[in-house]
Structure 1
Amino acid sequence: MKAPSADELVARVPLLWRTLAAMLVLVGGLLALVESRAGILRAGTEIRLKTVPVDPRDLFRGDYVVLSYPISTVDGASRQGERGFRRGDAVFVTLGRDGEGFARATGVSRERPAAGPDLVMAGRVVSTGGCALNDAGTFDCSQGRNRLRIAYGLESYFVPQGSGRAIETTDRSRIEVIAAVSSSGDAAIKRLLIDGKLVYAEPPY
């Protein structure tokens, strides 16, 4: 006797139950994503980030700001015998702190560094080369393709309707982001401050 195929077994299940099962799978996936982000916000290590808002509005989803950070630009000079970084590479950026307590990038690698005192954040190379502001506040183009632009998933932040333009026009030296970084290196924005005062806080759910 021939055993029924998987398609035949599925076809025997009433349509209502199949629909409910599909809905439960979708809802379960969404809840897992929400809980993953909530876990980062709840238990992640907090870091302070200087930030530069770029773009003020998404007409379909309300106001938002596109943010850039000093740690978005990293010296990616490869070690001897290792090929250079390319756009799309997944990377791990090691973070230290500057004299003001803000995070600064101290290294980048394709493999997660061994456990140590420094925090490690996961990111992805979005471009190589180009110019960036140096410590003196002037544009430096000397590193060529060794300079990497890294995205961490912290580059867009939604704010209440009508607030994006006000943040976009605020001097960058006044804006600070508090982000949470999980043990795996994933990061999420927790709070946005201007002049050290809380402007927006991300709800846990």
Structure 2
Amino acid sequence: MPALRVPSADALLGRVPLLGRVLAAMLILCGGLLALVESRAGILRNGTEIRLKTVPVDPRNLFRGDYVVLAYPISTVEPAAGEGAFRRGDAVFVTLTRDAEGFAQATGASRTRPVTSGGDLVIAGRVQSTGACGLNAAGEADCATGRRRLRVAYGLESYFVPQGQGRRIETTPKAALDVVAAVSATGEAAIKRLLIDGKLVYAEPPY
């Protein structure tokens, strides 16, 4: 009895009409995009809200097309007690607590998700550098103290604004610009609202 020949994947794919292959590729791409949109929408709908202060950004880097570039005091954080050396690209979990004004403050970065209590929560991020200077009381980088921290990105460092409407943000002192973000149960975060002088300027639609 002759051996049964099983067509290769390439041979089977070659039998599918070109239009069918194109449609299948489009469906896969659309499905992936919808999954990303739904994931972000889920964070905005169900995530815990936190309010974040921003820190000054070099005006030359403030706008990139229609995106506002943002930086936060929580972007520089000390490793939690007992943690070893971190490297650029390491995934971290940062514990946030709220100050007397309700703004989130970073209290430590850990490799594993820490246990929290009270109103504290955990946000996930990735180490961008390991030699960041600490911040002084004015929220400015202060390297004179000798205290070096991790610089962490949370996916909150840019925000899309409608074309032609960014000038108001560009000329706003950073002390008056606040961000409300939503943090999911797994630590993922997304910007939900942008405030100037405590007043709503932009709100992210759920989709």
Q: Same fold (TM over 0.5)?
A: yes
| Map 1:11-160 → 2, pairs under 5 A | 11-52=14-55, 54=57, 55-59=61-65, 63-76=66-79, 79=82, 82-114=83-115, 116-117=117-118, 118-135=120-137, 139-141=141-143, 142-144=145-147, 146-160=148-162
| Map 1:173-192 → 2, pairs under 5 A | 173-192=175-194
CA distance in 1, matches of 2:28, 2:117: 39
Unpaired segments of 5 or more residues in structure 1?
none
Alignment identity in percent?
Answer: 72
Q: How many residues align?
A: 199
TM-score by length of 2: 0.88
Flag as ranges the 4+ runs of structure 1 deviating above 4 A. Answer: 136-139
Aligned alpha-carbon RMSD (Å) = 1.9
Q: Cα offset for 1:75?
A: 1.0
Q: 1:122 to 1:104 in 2, by over 3 A?
A: same
Q: Cα offset for 1:5?
A: 1.6
Q: 1:37 to 1:53 in 2, by over 3 A?
A: farther
CA distance in 2, matches of 1:40, 1:137: 28
Q: 1:56 to 1:140 in 2, by over 3 A?
A: closer
CA distance in 2, matches of 1:32, 1:147: 35
Q: Structure 1, residues 146-178: CA drift from partner, whole Å, max 9, x if none?
A: 411110000001112233343133122211110
Q: Structure 1, residues 111-136: CA drift from partner, whole Å, max 9, x if none?
A: 11236442100001111213232236
